[in-house]
Amino acid sequence: MYDFEFGSRTAKGGFANEKAVCEKFNNWKNDEDAKLWLKIMGYDPDKIDYVKAIQIPTRIKKEDIKNSGLVKKIMRN
């Protein structure tokens, strides 16, 4: 039971971290970590007009995936 509880806490902590990272990216103009991350990814923060970070749900319905157009984009690449 210990391993399951530990794994569950670890996963929940990861999801909380994802939310925090999204918040940092969405506040990229004022957040030094987000500016650094953008630079690491090859972007110049001074030349960026807009950033929108979202947390992808852990469970997605097939219909939502179809409606997102994501599958089509992935298949083209």
Instruction: Retrieve residue 71's tokens.
Output: 């599958």
Give the per-residue pLDDT at 44.
Answer: 96
Give the per-residue pLDDT at 2.
Answer: 56
Give the per-residue pLDDT at 54.
Answer: 84
Instruction: Retrieve residue 75's tokens.
Output: 């298949």
CB 52 within 8 A of CB 26: yes
- Digitized pLDDT (tens) for each residue of the chain, 77 residues in all: 456 564 556 555 666 688 888 999 999 999 999 999 999 999 999 999 999 998 877 677 777 777 776 665 555 54
The DSSP string of the chain is -HHHHHHHHHHHHHHHHHHHHHHHHHTTTT-HHHHHHHHHTT--GGG-------PPPSS--HHHHHHHTHHHHHHH-
Give the per-residue pLDDT at 19.
Answer: 85
The closest alpha carbon to 23, from 49, 54, 57, belongs to: 54
Domains of the chain: 2-76 (3.40.1350.40)
